[in-house]
Structure 1
Amino acid sequence: MSTISSSPAFTTQFDTSNQEFVATGVLRPRSIADIADDLLLLRDKIETVQGVFYINLKRVTHMNSTAFRALARVLVDASRSRPELKIVVLVSSVVTWATQMFRHLGELSPNISMEIYDSAFYPGQTFVESRSFIPILRTQTKMTWRHEREILQRHGLRNGMAIADICCGVGDFAMLVRKEFNPARIVALDHSTASLDYARSVAEKFCVRDIEYTYGDASQMLFESDQFDFVTCRHSLQIFDRPELLLKELYRICKPGGRVYITNEKNSHCLGEPRADSISWTYNEVAKLFRHFDMDVEMGPKGSRLLLDTGFEDVRIESFMVTNLDGDPQDFADVIEAWEDVYAGEMCVRRGDPPEFIERFRQGFRDHIFAALHPRGYAGWPIWAASGQKPL
């Protein structure tokens, strides 16, 4: 891999294994001469590759017209001198100007195309972004918070820290952390505009001004490195098809000596009594259903290994069971009903499951609700919490 730094705010490098030219930072040259070395690197590398050449602009936060025109000229010239080469410009929807700037390059040359990297950010995102699902997300957080407020302290969260809640959803966890731990700074990032709109509306309603709600791609965040004392990412690695990318970003934005805290589930261990067999069958099928969509809701116990593989040390892991006895059993039942609607009503249909399977699948959720509401029943939903320290 070759690297050239044009200025403290901008770098370019070439990844040989991926045939990828990667630019990062603020690209606002006063003249083409300011980025001459970067353009030379780009031209040289285009001549060495075969097949597909990638221009990765996912972390370029600003680009002026001088830079755009110079970059476009190099790409168009290359497409004409090497018509057999496919040139793909990778951008993120988070940086809206990039999609607007580069979408027209294909009109100048048929072998230049633009790909929006995060157009399929979470395989499961479409299943949980409906506004009708928001009350259930809030209920889930209310149920887990009874456990997590103590667990977070065991994993190192203290008052006065700089905190980032990544994949924050509707923002309720960030609100609870703010109230309980009085952070010096708290940033909450998500890729769902609907969830962030809701989070901001709640914050406005309660006159909360100090949570920085941010639209962003958790696998390519625009935050500077080494910013946060404590980084949380809850119930999200399990619905991300490349969790190792997200973990690397959590590691990057965490300060040396700081900690990253993750929670994930193991759905096949959801349980209930009475009607245990039906419930167990359905949640084993839930795990298979998520695997079909490249998600892993069995990830919970894997948290320790995932953190160690990323480079964290002093890794801690524990599990807790959210149950119908944690508060109002109807809250538990409402969550399960929402799962049934999404998993059986949308995901199974998209997978193409036959009606008889879907009906049996639904029955397991109904039996879980029955167990939750039964006066002598028990229903549980297991979650694993893990954290690791970024080495000093």
Structure 2
Amino acid sequence: MSQADLSTSFRAEFDANSQEFCLAGVIRPRSIEEIAPGVSMLKEAIDEVRGVLYINVRRLVQMNNTAFHAFVRVVLDACRTRSDLRFVVVTSSVVGWTTRMFGHLNRIEPQITVEVYDSTFYPGQSFVENTSFIPILRTQTKMTWRHERTILPRHGMRAGIAMADICCGIGDFAVLVQKEFQPARIVALDHSKASLAYARDVAAGFGITDIEYTYGDASEMLLDDNQFDFVSCRHSLQIFNRSDMLLAELYRICKPGGRVYITNEKNSHCLGEPRSQSIQWTYNEVAKLFSHFEMDVELGPKSRRYLADAGFDDIVVESFMVTNLDGDPQDFADVITAWEKVYAGEMAVKRGDSPEFIQRFRQGFKDHIFAALHPKGYAGWPIWVASGRKPL
């Protein structure tokens, strides 16, 4: 990989293995001469590649017209001299102006394609960034917080720290942390605009105004390196099909000596009694269903390996069981009802499952609800908690 640091705020890189040229940061030159090394790198990349050159601008925060025309001119000239070469410009909805600025290129030059990376950037996105997930998330946090509030200090949570809650969802975890532990700063980032709007309403309802809710792509965050003492990412590695990318970003924004805290599930270990066989069958099928959409709701016990592979040390792992005895059993039943709606009503239908399968699938959820509400019943949902330290 070759790299040019054109200023403290702008970076150009070329990776020959992936045939990808990347622009990142702020690029606002007064003249083309100021960005000559980056323009030269793009020309060299074009000379070297065969087939497709990817131009990645997902982390390009700002770009003026001088820079835009300088880089685009190189690409358009290449289209006229290299009929064998195609260009794919990869933008992001997080930095929406890049799509608008580069979007017209494919209309004037058929060899150029513009793709919005995060419009469908993981297979399960349409399910988990749907507003139908909001009631699931709020009730789930209500139930898990009873456990996490005592667990968090063992994983580095304390007053006065700088914290980032990545994939924050509807923001209720950040609110609870702010009230309980009083970090000096909380940045809460998510890719769902609907969830963030809900999060801001939740914070306003609690009278909390100092949480920085931010729209962003967790795999390509526009956050500086080494700035947070504590980085949380709850129930998210299991739904993103490139967990290594996500962990690399969590590692990058964490300060040396700081900790990254993750929670994940093992859905096949959900249990209930009575009607345990039906319940067990359904949750085994839940794991298979998520796997079909490249999500891994069995990830919980794998957390230690994932953190170690990402470069963390001093890894701490523990688990807890959310049950119908933790509070109001109806809360547990409400979570299962919401799961049934999304898993059986949307995901199984999208996979193309038969009506007979879906009927049996639904029955397992109903039996889990029956166990949760039964006066002598027991229902459980296991969560794995893990954290790792970024080495000093």
Same fold (TM over 0.5): yes
Aligned to 1:353, the other structure's residue is in SS state coil
**1:198 paired residue number:** 198
Matched, 1:163 2:163: yes
Structure 1 position 135, deviation (Å): 2.6
Letter in 2 for 1:112: I
Structure 1 position 152, deviation (Å): 0.7
Letter in 2 for 1:125: Q
Deviations 1:228-263 (A, max 9, x none): 000000000000010000000000000000000000
Aligned to 2:381, the other structure's residue is in SS state strand
**1:98 paired residue number:** 98
**2:349 paired residue number:** 349
Task: Please say if residues 136 and 339 of structure 2, whose CA atoms lie closer than 8 Å, have aligned partners that are also in contact.
Answer: no
**1:30 paired residue number:** 30
**1:10 paired residue number:** 10
Could you tell me how far apart the structure 2 residues matched to 1:174 and 1:257 are? Answer: 22
**1:290 paired residue number:** 290
* Structure 1 range deviating more: 332-341 or 21-30: 21-30
Letter in 2 for 1:52: V
Structure 1 position 107, deviation (Å): 1.6
Letter in 2 for 1:200: R
Letter in 1 for 2:223: F
Task: Please say if residues 76 and 108 of structure 1, whose CA atoms lie closer than 8 Å, have aligned partners that are also in contact.
Answer: no
Could you tell me how far apart the structure 1 residues matched to 2:56 and 2:75 are? Answer: 13
Aligned to 2:84, the other structure's residue is in SS state coil
* Structure 1 range deviating more: 205-214 or 328-337: 205-214
Letter in 2 for 1:147: H
Letter in 1 for 2:299: M
Could you tell me how far apart the structure 1 residues matched to 2:351 and 2:60 are? Answer: 37
Letter in 2 for 1:371: A
Could you tell me how far apart the structure 2 residues matched to 1:329 and 1:205 are? Answer: 26
Structure 1 position 272, deviation (Å): 0.3
Deviations 1:60-103 (A, max 9, x none): 10011111111111111111111110101111110011000011
**1:120 paired residue number:** 120
Deviations 1:127-157 (A, max 9, x none): 2334343233111001000000111111111
Structure 1 position 199, deviation (Å): 0.8
Aligned pairs for 1:47-58 (under 5 A) are 47-58=47-58
Matched, 1:88 2:88: yes
Task: Please say if residues 300 and 385 of structure 2, whose CA atoms lie closer than 8 Å, have aligned partners that are also in contact.
Answer: yes
Deviations 1:301-350 (A, max 9, x none): 00000000000000010110000000000000000010001000000000
Letter in 1 for 2:317: I
**1:209 paired residue number:** 209
**2:304 paired residue number:** 304
Structure 1 position 366, deviation (Å): 0.3
Matched, 1:255 2:255: yes
**2:20 paired residue number:** 20
Structure 1 position 24, deviation (Å): 1.3
Structure 1 position 122, deviation (Å): 3.6
Deviations 1:159-207 (A, max 9, x none): 1110000000000000000011101100000000000011112222333
**1:321 paired residue number:** 321
Task: Please say if residues 312 and 391 of structure 2, whose CA atoms lie closer than 8 Å, have aligned partners that are also in contact.
Answer: yes
Q: Structure 1 unaligned runs (5+)?
A: none
Letter in 2 for 1:328: D
Matched, 1:133 2:133: yes
Q: How many residues align?
A: 392
Could you tell me how far apart the structure 2 residues matched to 1:259 and 1:133 are? Answer: 28
Could you tell me how far apart the structure 2 residues matched to 1:93 and 1:39 are? Answer: 25
Letter in 2 for 1:95: V
Q: Structure 2 unaligned runs (5+)?
A: none
Matched, 1:42 2:35: no
Letter in 2 for 1:272: G
Task: Please say if residues 135 and 338 of structure 2, whose CA atoms lie closer than 8 Å, have aligned partners that are also in contact.
Answer: no
Letter in 1 for 2:283: Y
Could you tell me how far apart the structure 2 residues matched to 1:165 and 1:202 are? Answer: 15
Could you tell me how far apart the structure 1 residues matched to 2:304 and 2:157 are? Answer: 18
**2:366 paired residue number:** 366
Aligned to 1:95, the other structure's residue is in SS state helix
Which 4+ stretches in 1 moved above 6 angstroms? none
Letter in 1 for 2:66: T
RMSD, aligned CA: 0.9
Matched, 1:385 2:385: yes
Aligned to 1:47, the other structure's residue is in SS state helix
Task: Please say if residues 267 and 382 of structure 1, whose CA atoms lie closer than 8 Å, have aligned partners that are also in contact.
Answer: yes
Letter in 2 for 1:145: W
* Structure 1 range deviating more: 131-140 or 251-260: 131-140
Could you tell me how far apart the structure 2 residues matched to 1:93 and 1:132 are? Answer: 22
Identity of aligned pairs, percent? Answer: 70
Aligned to 1:268, the other structure's residue is in SS state helix
Task: Please say if residues 229 and 254 of structure 1, whose CA atoms lie closer than 8 Å, have aligned partners that are also in contact.
Answer: yes
Aligned to 1:295, the other structure's residue is in SS state coil
